[in-house]
Chains A and B, each alone.
Chain A
């Protein structure tokens, strides 16, 4: 009683407003509100968006083109950015990297780089560099980051055995690696929705059959199978066709998880009142599925799709790493990691593992994002 009297009418009013807000909010607003509370998933979502932005604007973000090489700077170690420079007048803001001197071992003729603090190369944002065509539409020469003077050797993550910039190549690799996941999951989604839908909606013998097929596919060791299938891709195929062949291979096995999810949803929705009502009203089967059932499971499907993409990224990376997936000149993270295939090349140039870091970050981000989406997918459940 006491607490009720001390409450101001304005509080009641705000609470009531909040309540109506919840009552009238549609499903997607509720999902968004629930998802927003999940800090880690929000952060992971941001990272994912950032990665896709990098994929879209790779030419602009990368300091060099993917194929630019330099015979005089092979296996150059990463250069750290120094933000300040000491002059006679004190410290001044002058972002730069140090140059390198090459020392040749008189006995083994092994070339080693020694940091030379005398030489500095200024580094800047939005610098002019190599020309490129963005999406085949505009010709630009603006780069997000790079040497302030065009032509200075600035390689923030070092270079590979041909003197190509590792950072730039990893940025270009984002495009292929992140899109393989999307395209592959798109294909598996089509297969998963059709087969899982049939399985869950009709049930009976056909359900049993599809479930057996899924069980068999799931019990197969995927990587040996992928290895066998991708070895059958002719070496003469152009890179684009190989890319699509690989995504088709990945989705041929990847659809099973999605089909299971869809089937489970169909089974539980089939007996819902609104579906029975629609059926009694004489709505056609296809329309029941597309109009009434699919919208109420979209959020769940989005969540499982997000969780399926990392698996695809990992699979593509593994296959390309072995040399039976994508092949150069295509640049993907797996193709880049081919350069770091044995302990000797890693010992001379550990920075070649940098694309692996990109793989781990993207997979982590998508996993956390998918987890958050799955929790938020059913906002009516408390």
Chain B
């Protein structure tokens, strides 16, 4: 097991390297030097010495690979992601809380997806080709077809039209700028349900399909017949082995559900005005605030890769055969 984890972590290194290159490439793509945009935005004349210092710090006159090296070595050795031009603050000041909230939303959504998808998937497989099964299937397909942001808009409209309240945001106004406290955490929880449902719909629909297919495969096997012939009760028969076996592919499904969640949360957060990485990335891209944008893309990617790694390790732990492959 330790060797398996070690091997996976070694595999991770080239992946992270490539991702950092991609994130840096995104920083470099827009035409023009970003210091030029800084100077053009500044209200008073910028001190030439300051510009030169910035130029020196980011190595702007040097070749691209040297610039990349300065950026990445700053992140690794000093945790320095550069400065945000728009906010005029270090990037690292801006991102950690938003990254944390992104994590919280993603994890809650993942839990929601599992809690909802597994029982419904089991029901759908056991009651194959009944009205309930068809209903679940149809709702599932519709859930897959509705874009997250559209669902967010529709739910916001319903809440506004029929309950007269404007939903959105992650905190009540009085807690937005407050420090972390128990009340603030509870306030967060009371706002979390809407984004969790919106983000979880597509994943839930997909996992119900996976769970149903897996369980149907298992239920047609001979050992199930044998157990039934021995007079095992249906419920025990179901949960003793088939459900447990069917859960395995569900764990590996997490590896692609997680990137999809982080990805989907970007747009939903913009619509719902959540204080996660999505809106910050969106604004930084529009303002060409490229260090902030690049760092966000890098960190969100790293987050999903770590999520994938955890699901791989979990899977290997549940199903030891995988370690041998």
A→B interface (CB under 8 Å): 212, 215-216, 218-225, 227-229, 231-232, 234, 310, 314, 317-318, 321-322, 324, 337, 340-343, 346-347, 350, 353, 356, 359-360, 363-364, 367-368
CB-contact partner of A359 in B18, B23, B147, under 8 A: B147
CB distance from B212 to the nearest CB of A (A): 14
Q: Is the CB of A324 within 8 A of B285?
A: yes
Q: Please measure, in the bound complex, the distance between the C-alpha atom of A62 and the C-alpha atom of B19, giving whole angstroms.
A: 45
Q: Is the CB of B263 within 8 A of A222?
A: yes
Q: Is the CB of B142 within 8 A of A364?
A: yes
CB distance from B12 to the nearest CB of A (A): 10
Q: Please measure, in the bound complex, the distance between the C-alpha atom of A223 and the C-alpha atom of B142, giving whole angstroms.
A: 21
Question: Provided the pairs A221-B259, A360-B142, A360-B150 are in contact, do residues A350 and B157 lie with their beta carbons within 8 angstroms?
Answer: yes
Q: Is the CB of A317 within 8 A of B147?
A: yes
CB-contact partner of B259 in A212, A220, A364, A367, under 8 A: A220
Q: Please measure, in the bound complex, the distance between the C-alpha atom of A360 and the C-alpha atom of B139, giving whole angstroms.
A: 12
Asked if B105 lies at the interface with its beta carbon under 8 angstroms from chain A, I say: no
CB distance from A77 to the nearest CB of B (A): 14
Asked if B296 lies at the interface with its beta carbon under 8 angstroms from chain A, I say: yes
Q: Please measure, in the bound complex, the distance between the C-alpha atom of A343 and the C-alpha atom of B157, giving whole angstroms.
A: 6
Q: Enumerate 17 A-B pairs (CB-CB under 8 Å) in ascending A order.
A: A219-B308, A221-B304, A223-B263, A224-B296, A224-B301, A227-B285, A228-B285, A228-B293, A231-B286, A232-B26, A232-B29, A234-B31, A347-B157, A356-B147, A359-B147, A360-B150, A364-B141
Could you say which residues of chain B place their CB within 8 Å of the CB of A364?
Answer: 141-142, 145
Q: Is the CB of A216 within 8 A of B18?
A: yes
Asked if B241 lies at the interface with its beta carbon under 8 angstroms from chain A, I say: no
Q: Is the CB of B150 within 8 A of A359?
A: yes
Which of chain B's residues 158-175 have a Cβ closer than 8 Å to chain A? 160-161, 166, 168
Asked if B264 lies at the interface with its beta carbon under 8 angstroms from chain A, I say: yes
CB distance from B213 to the nearest CB of A (A): 12
Could you say which residues of chain A place their CB within 8 Å of the CB of B19?
Answer: 216, 220
Q: Is the CB of A224 within 8 A of B300?
A: yes
Q: Is the CB of A340 within 8 A of B153?
A: yes
Question: Provided the pairs A221-B304, A224-B266 are in contact, do residues A229 and B29 lie with their beta carbons within 8 angstroms?
Answer: yes
Question: Provided the pairs A228-B26, A346-B153, A350-B157 are in contact, do residues A221 and B263 lie with their beta carbons within 8 angstroms?
Answer: yes
CB distance from B290 to the nearest CB of A (A): 9
Residue of B nearest to A346 (CB): B157
Q: Please measure, in the bound complex, the distance between the C-alpha atom of A3 and the C-alpha atom of B263, giving whole angstroms.
A: 63
How many residues of chain B have a CB within 8 Å of chain A?
53
B→A interface (CB under 8 Å): 14-15, 18-19, 22-23, 26, 29-31, 141-142, 144-150, 153-154, 156-157, 160-161, 166, 168, 255-256, 259, 262-264, 266-267, 270-271, 277-278, 281-282, 285-286, 288, 293-294, 296-297, 300-301, 304-305, 308
Main secondary structure of the interface of A (DSSP, over half): helix
Question: Provided the pairs A228-B293, A310-B145 are in contact, do residues A318 and B267 lie with their beta carbons within 8 angstroms?
Answer: yes
Q: Is the CB of B147 within 8 A of A231?
A: no
Q: Is the CB of A360 within 8 A of B15?
A: no
CB-contact partner of B166 in A234, A321, A343, A353, under 8 A: A343
Question: Provided the pairs A231-B285, A364-B142, A367-B144 are in contact, do residues A223 and B156 lie with their beta carbons within 8 angstroms?
Answer: no
CB-contact partner of B150 in A227, A228, A337, under 8 A: A337
Could you say which residues of chain A place their CB within 8 Å of the CB of B282?
Answer: 227, 322, 324
Residue of B nearest to A232 (CB): B29
Q: Please measure, in the bound complex, the distance between the C-alpha atom of A216 and the C-alpha atom of B285, giving whole angstroms.
A: 23
**Which 3 residue pairs of A and B lie closest in terms of their CB atoms, listed nearest first?**
A232-B29, A231-B285, A228-B26
Q: Is the CB of A322 within 8 A of B304?
A: no
Could you say which residues of chain A place their CB within 8 Å of the CB of B161?
Answer: 347, 350
CB distance from A259 to the nearest CB of B (A): 15
Residue of B nearest to A228 (CB): B26
Q: Please measure, in the bound complex, the distance between the C-alpha atom of A368 and the C-alpha atom of B263, giving whole angstroms.
A: 24
Q: Is the CB of A212 within 8 A of B31?
A: no
Q: Please measure, in the bound complex, the distance between the C-alpha atom of A322 and the C-alpha atom of B281, giving whole angstroms.
A: 12
Question: Provided the pairs A216-B19, A340-B153, A360-B150 are in contact, do residues A227 and B14 lie with their beta carbons within 8 angstroms?
Answer: no
Question: Provided the pairs A231-B285, A232-B29 are in contact, do residues A224 and B305 lie with their beta carbons within 8 angstroms?
Answer: no
Could you say which residues of chain A place their CB within 8 Å of the CB of B296?
Answer: 224
Q: Is the CB of B263 within 8 A of A353?
A: no
Q: Is the CB of A219 within 8 A of B15?
A: yes
Q: Please measure, in the bound complex, the distance between the C-alpha atom of A228 and the C-alpha atom of B19, giving whole angstroms.
A: 13
Residue of A nearest to B28 (CB): A232
Q: Is the CB of A225 within 8 A of B22?
A: yes
Question: Provided the pairs A221-B304, A321-B149 are in contact, do residues A227 and B266 lie with their beta carbons within 8 angstroms?
Answer: yes
Question: Provided the pairs A231-B30, A322-B282 are in contact, do residues A225 and B297 lie with their beta carbons within 8 angstroms?
Answer: yes
Residue of A nearest to B308 (CB): A219
Question: Provided the pairs A216-B15, A347-B160 are in contact, do residues A353 and B149 lie with their beta carbons within 8 angstroms?
Answer: no
Q: Please measure, in the bound complex, the distance between the C-alpha atom of A342 and the C-alpha atom of B160, giving whole angstroms.
A: 11
CB distance from B195 to the nearest CB of A (A): 15
Could you say which residues of chain B place their CB within 8 Å of the CB of A324?
Answer: 282, 285-286
Among A231, A234, A341, A346, the most chain B Cβ lie within 10 Å of the Cβ of A231
CB distance from A313 to the nearest CB of B (A): 9
Residue of B nearest to A230 (CB): B285
Q: Please measure, in the bound complex, the distance between the C-alpha atom of A76 and the C-alpha atom of B210, giving whole angstroms.
A: 45
Q: Please measure, in the bound complex, the distance between the C-alpha atom of A50 and the C-alpha atom of B258, giving whole angstroms.
A: 35
Question: Provided the pairs A218-B259, A221-B259, A360-B146 are in contact, do residues A212 and B264 lie with their beta carbons within 8 angstroms?
Answer: no
CB distance from B263 to the nearest CB of A (A): 4
Residue of B nearest to A234 (CB): B31
Among B145, B148, B166, B286, the most chain A Cβ lie within 10 Å of the Cβ of B145
Q: Please measure, in the bound complex, the distance between the C-alpha atom of A220 and the C-alpha atom of B20, giving whole angstroms.
A: 11
Residue of A nearest to B17 (CB): A216
